[in-house]
Amino acid sequence: MGKTIQSLERGLVILEILGKTKKPLLLNEITEHFSIDRSSVFRLISTLVQNGFVTQNPDTKKYTLGYRILELSGAFSDHSYIEKLIRPIMERVVAETRQNTHLAILDNHEVVFLAVEQPNDPITLNISIGTREPSTATALGKSLLAFHAPEKLDDILSGVTLKKYTPKSITSIPGLKKELGKVRKIRLAVDDEEYRSGIVCFAAPVFNHLGEVQYSIGISGLRDAIKPFTGKFGEIVRLSGIEASEILGYKPAGSEQ
């Protein structure tokens, strides 16, 4: 066997530690596994954070695996406690709409698919766990963006170019913010062929116990299969977001029901 790169080995050990631990870890807790000093471990973790393989909670300063792991393995959601909690809701949405149902999270200005439920139908969209899509042109993304504080939203959108994916794409920041205002009012986002021609999507925010939007849940399908049922499907998705939020400990106001 040839020589190995020690820093790479240590980085992989960090990923293994975080992967096997069922709770977020502080820097000191990770450092305990190494004979090197704390500052060296910090540099290794910082590199992993910058590349999306590790993420740090800005409030607790604790580290967990990042969503880039999803793209490589496609198996992260199989071990995700949250995904297991919300999976029954997704299965019911699929049964009620016969459309692809997704659970996603925001990563910078993109959404990452954490879980996918598909109907038993030969005509269905093929979307995999770990798929990334632009948050600004998708229902899943808009439902995640809409509930950020204005300054946080500006930070996310800074430097982002709104591409014209289809003739219906929103291509200006003011136009996008106006759309996000509508999402906040009704707790439902719509992608009416904005990202892909012929594809319509609905998505709803999923709040955690702190009242923060952490996930989005939604459906996507062919225009002709969704448009005739816009009201029905939209309400199914909106209510699924409320139910998933309550499972995560969120207490919605009566007006949100």
* Per-domain boundaries in the chain: 6-66, 74-256
- Over residues 114-164, the pLDDT tens digits come to 888 888 775 566 777 888 899 999 999 999 999 998 888 998 888 888 999
Residue recorded with tokens 């109907």: 119
Cα–Cα distance between 118 and 97 in angstroms, integer? 11
Mean pLDDT throughout 34-47? 92
Percent of the chain with pLDDT over 90: 53
Please state the three-class secondary structure of the chain as a single string.
CCCCCHHHHHHHHHHHHHHHCCCCECHHHHHCCCCCCHHHHHHHHHHHHHCCCEEECCCCCCEEECCHHHHHHCCHHHHCHHHHHHHHHHHHHHHHHCCEEEEEEEECCEEEEEEEECCCCCCCCCCCCCCEEEHHHCHHHHHHHCCCCHHHHHHHHCCCCCCCCCCCCCCCHHHHHHHHHHHHHHCCEEEECCCCCCEEEEEEEEECCCCCEEEEEEEEEEHHHHHHHHHHHHHHHHHHHHHHHHHCCCCCCHHHC
- Over residues 170-212, the pLDDT tens digits come to 999 999 999 999 999 999 999 999 999 999 999 999 998 888 8
- pLDDT (0 to 100) of residue 70: 60
Q: Which CATH class is domain 6-66?
A: mainly alpha
CB 135 within 8 A of CB 110: yes
Mean pLDDT throughout 87-92? 91
Cα–Cα distance between 129 and 73 in angstroms, integer? 9
CA distances for 149 relative to 146, 176, 229, angstroms: 9, 15, 32
Whether the pLDDT of residue 97 is over 50: the answer is yes
Mean pLDDT throughout 79-95? 82
- In CATH terms, the superfamily for domain 74-256 is GAF domain (3.30.450.40)
The model's pTM is 0.67
Whether the pLDDT of residue 222 is over 80: the answer is yes
